[in-house]
Amino acid sequence: MMKEKVEMALNKIRPSLQAEGGDVELVNVTPEGVVKVRLTGACSGCPMSQMTLKMGIERMLKKEVSEVKEVVAV
């Protein structure tokens, strides 16, 4: 259930990442609320990717899915 909510929230974020040549792929959601994602395309090598992950993706996911505690890149 939580994985589906996270995927729906990521679908809202994807267009802005894709506009910059990148994307995000959901790898796993743990029962503890840790979301594991893989940044792809331009995002994978971007020096700003950590900021995108924490200030963009993590903030949005926490807002959309209250069970999310942290987002980490794998």
3-class SS letters over 18-58: HHCCEEEEEEEECCCCEEEEEEEEHHHHCCCHHHHHHHHHH
2-73 sits in which CATH class? alpha beta
Please report, to the nearest 10 degrees, the dihedral formed by the alpha carbons of residues 18, 48, 3, 26 taken in order: 60
According to the model, what pLDDT value does residue 47 have? 87
Side chain identity, residue 47: P
Residue 7 reports pLDDT greater than 90: yes
Q: What is the pTM of this model?
A: 0.91
Domain ranges of the chain: 2-73
Span 33-53, pLDDT tens digits: 999 999 999 888 888 888 888
Span 9-18, pLDDT tens digits: 999 999 999 9
Residue 5's pLDDT band (cuts 50, 70, 90): very high
According to the model, what pLDDT value does residue 6 have? 97
